[in-house]
């Protein structure tokens, strides 16, 4: 896992204070976390801070300037909150309609330290750079038709085909044909094309055939300065500040909280109308900066794990890790996910470094989401950047996936079996004809489930199956982290010409799309997008990260092939058949059969630099994929008990 490393100031924490707190005993209020509500006559504030000595709310005219709202007597409007006797919350009611104003809380902790102002831990509407929350009626942010917005149908998790994308990557290139480049609204524009006339934007997604768009972090994050959007800035966004408000840099006006909320909803509604569900990348495992985080300014120490020496635990590799096992953090994560699902109609959640979170919390999230819609996807990275500060048997690691109900994890066994290990960009594997990776690919084709015909001792990383069913594994070969596939092929096969690189790109995606797991595509792989060999481009400029839309014309056959694989998977549902691995002769060949009541399908992957002959059950066969071409209607028929598979390619045949 490539992490977004940054300089993080370690919080100087008194060790005796940490040890003195029994965090599990801190009171947790019943009912939803609601820090601000408004009526025509009153504005109500509520903040959870069990150990505070005092809490004050401050009212401002806007989201950034020092201009304060004045009370009727002409003094700056503030109000002291009163502590609830048992549940750890502080509350007050101001007898004014303050809609449109901004607010912060100031907490004085149990040692008498007055912390910097915070918009709270659950701010839903924030101004520029998330410094202050706004008093707002969220109903006013709903675009026309929002009440009629519905999720596209999804019968089974394995029907999903996920497309991971970054807002700026997807639309910023001059050849995108998109007006709102790098914005939420880019995904509302239809009829956009590149200079050659190929579809781009949302029409491209429909043409490709994906069912879900996985958006890289879109909550309010800290690594892009929203006051300087006239200057090029880029970050993946794994730097949480306000978890429950959209990021302002992707809106047309980061100063107006209502704009970012409405435009986010417009984006979701447009994707839904196109038949595409929306997945949010959520990063509850760490914050942008611990000392200045809203968590720490509200309830110091509580939301994070700590080492014995009093320093923050760092399972995230980003300077801190949150403590999901603590009751209020668990409640927070559950309610935050539910908020996005209800208020923004989000259809899925990808958990960054899910292995830092505890199993009980992840299952609680799944159970809560089921009450809204059990077809909402939940998946995540079943690992951490380093060892978390919690017992291994409590963590939602990949090895513990069987204890997670309806939650999937990324299957890096097949990924690295195809392209090579994550720790060495120049190290290749199956794709470039290196033997010894066949069992890792078979493990991925079977969705990480128990198999007698997979030699688990030869599978990389995992020495035991970890999924209860195949849809608990995300099948992929490329994602935002690490080199994208086109770059990895160049790095591991530096002498390969363009034609060979195309063959290998197609071969890799044949494995992904015929896996029994949930297939996953990194944006731009379908047009052979590269990132100029940059391994960790989390803050690289647009000339590295932008999808070069002109390549859709140049690599049209790659797009058609991957799109063809998606449509073939959806139309034949071959992955739902009974899976059998066929015996093969030689190395660098994987052959498997799906048997359904209505048909039998065989897939053969051949990464050798020569044609091979594969034994198959005798019968009359129709080729659906051959020589880098896919046609669900059939490319040709043949009869016999063997099939020839050209070099560095795949075949899919139907009996």
Q: Which residue pairs from 44-47 have beta carbons closer than 8 angstroms and sit at least 24 positions apart in sequence?
A: 44/91, 44/92, 44/93, 44/94, 45/79, 45/81, 45/91, 45/92, 45/93, 45/94, 45/103, 45/105, 46/81, 46/89, 46/90, 46/91, 47/81, 47/89, 47/90, 47/91, 47/105, 47/107, 47/120, 47/298
Contact present, 516 and 603 (Cβ < 8 Å): no
Active site residue 253: no
Q: Are 304 and 321 in contact (CB under 8 A)?
A: yes
Residue 637's CB is within 10 A of a number of other CB atoms, namely 11
Please pick, among 164, 247, 381, 482, the residue that the annotation labels catalytic: 381
Look at the chain and count its residues: 655
Specify the residue for token string 């040890």.
19
Pairing of strands 89-94, 377-380: unpaired
Residue reference for tokens 């939650």: 407
Residue 148 and residue 142: Cα distance in Å, rounded?
Answer: 11
Placement of tokens 């809490």 in the chain: 55
Task: Write the DSSP assignment of 598-646 as a string of letters.
Answer: S-EEEEEEE-SSS-EEEEEEEEEEEEEEETTEE-TT-SEEEEEEEEEE-
Neighbours of 30 (CB within 10 A): 6
Tell me the three state secondary structure of residue 426: coil
Question: Which structure tokens are listed for 96?
Answer: 């004014």
Beta strands 649-654 and 612-626, pairing class: antiparallel
Contact at 8 Å (CB) between 344 and 122?
no
Structure tokens given for 590: 């994987």
Longest dimension (CA), the chain: 93
* Contact between residue 298 and residue 118 where contact means Cβ atoms under 8 Å apart: yes
- Which of 226, 256, 352, 413 is labelled catalytic? 352
For 444, the token pair is 């991925």
Tell me the CA distances in angstroms from 481 to 22, 484, 485, 523, one per residue in order. 37, 8, 11, 12
Q: Give dist(CA 144, CA 567) in Å, integer.
A: 32
Kindly list the distances between the CA atom of residue 587 and the CA atoms of 125, 149, 454, 577, 627, in Å, as whole numbers in the listed order: 57, 51, 15, 26, 20
| Closest to 219 in 3D by CA, of 135, 270, 280 | 280
3-state secondary structure 33-58: CCCEEECCCCEEEEEECCCCCEEEEE
DSSP, residue by residue, 83-123:
E-SSSSEEEEEESS--TT-EEEEEEE-TTSPBPPPB--SS-
Active site residue 352: yes
Instruction: Report, as residue numbers or ranges, the catalytic residues.
Output: 352, 381
């Amino acid at each position: 896992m490539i992490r977004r490393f940054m300089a993080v100031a370690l919080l100087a924490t008194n060790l005796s204070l940490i040890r003195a707190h029994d965090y599990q005993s801190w009171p947790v209020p019943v009912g939803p976390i609601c820090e601000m509500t408004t009526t025509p006559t009153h504005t109500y504030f509520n903040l959870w801070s069990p150990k505070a000595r005092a809490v004050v709310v401050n009212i401002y005219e806007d989201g950034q300037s020092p201009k304060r709202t004045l009370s009727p007597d002409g003094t700056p409007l503030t109000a002291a909150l009163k502590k609830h006797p048992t549940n750890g919350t502080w509350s007050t009611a101001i007898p004014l309609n303050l809609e449109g104003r901004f607010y912060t809380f100031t907490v004085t902790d149990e040692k008498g330290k007055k912390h910097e102002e915070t918009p709270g831990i659950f701010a839903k509407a924030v101004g520029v750079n998330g410094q202050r929350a706004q008093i707002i009626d969220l109903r006013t942010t709903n675009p026309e038709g929002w009440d009629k917005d519905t999720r596209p149908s999804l019968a089974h998790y394995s029907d999903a085909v996920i497309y991971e994308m970054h807002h700026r990557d997807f639309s910023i290139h001059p050849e995108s044909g998109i007006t709102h480049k790098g914005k939420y609204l880019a995904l509302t524009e239809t009829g956009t094309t590149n200079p050659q006339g190929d579809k781009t934007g949302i029409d491209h997604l429909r043409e490709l055939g994906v069912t879900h768009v996985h958006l890289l972090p879109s909550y309010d994050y800290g690594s892009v300065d929203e006051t300087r959007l006239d200057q090029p800035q880029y970050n993946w966004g794994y730097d949480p500040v306000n978890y429950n408000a959209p990021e302002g840099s992707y809106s047309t006006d980061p100063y107006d909280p209502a704009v970012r909320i409405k435009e986010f909803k417009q984006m979701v509604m447009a994707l839904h109308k196109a038949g595409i569900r929306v997945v949010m990348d959520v990063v509850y495992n760490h914050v942008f900066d611990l000392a200045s985080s809203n968590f720490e300014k509200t309830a110091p120490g509580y939301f994070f794990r700590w080492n014995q020496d009093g320093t923050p635990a760092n399972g995230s590799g980003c300077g801190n890790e949150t403590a999901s096992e603590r009751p209020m953090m668990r409640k927070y994560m559950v309610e935050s996910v539910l908020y996005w699902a209800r208020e923004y109609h989000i259809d899925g959640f990808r958990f960054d470094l899910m292995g830092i979170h505890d199993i009980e919390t992840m299952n609680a999230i799944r159970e809560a989401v089921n009450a809204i819609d059990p077809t909402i996807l939940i998946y995540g990275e079943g690992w951490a950047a380093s060892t978390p500060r919690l017992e291994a048997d409590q963590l939602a690691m990949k090895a513990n996936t069987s204890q997670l109900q309806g939650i999937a994890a990324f299957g890096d066994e097949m990924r690295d079996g195809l392209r090579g290990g994550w720790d060495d960009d120049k190290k290749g594997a199956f794709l470039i004809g290196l033997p010894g990776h066949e069992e890792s690919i078979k493990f991925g084709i079977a969705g990480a489930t128990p198999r007698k015909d997979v030699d688990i001792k030869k599978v990389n990383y995992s020495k035991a199956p970890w999924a209860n069913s195949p849809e608990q594994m995300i099948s992929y070969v490329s994602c935002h982290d690490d080199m994208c596939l086109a770059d990895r092929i160049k790095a591991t096969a530096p002498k390969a010409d363009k034609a060979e690189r195309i063959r290998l790109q197609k071969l890799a995606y044949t494995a992904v799309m015929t896996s029994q797991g949930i297939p996953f595509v990194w944006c731009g792989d379908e047009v052979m997008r590269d990132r100029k060999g940059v391994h960790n481009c989390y803050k690289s400029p647009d000339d590295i990260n932008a999808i070069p839309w002109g390549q859709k014309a140049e690599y049209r056959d790659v797009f058609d092939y991957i799109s063809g694989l998606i449509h073939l998977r959806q139309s034949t549902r071959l992955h739902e058949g009974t899976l059998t691995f066929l015996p093969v002769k030689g190395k660098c060949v994987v052959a498997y059969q799906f048997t359904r009541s209505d048909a039998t399908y065989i897939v053969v992957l051949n990464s050798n630099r020569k044609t091979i002959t594969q034994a198959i059950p005798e019968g009359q066969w129709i080729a659906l994929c051959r020589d880098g071409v896919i046609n669900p209607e059939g490319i040709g028929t043949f009869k016999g008990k063997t099939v020839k598979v050209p070099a560095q390619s795949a075949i899919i045949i139907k009996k």
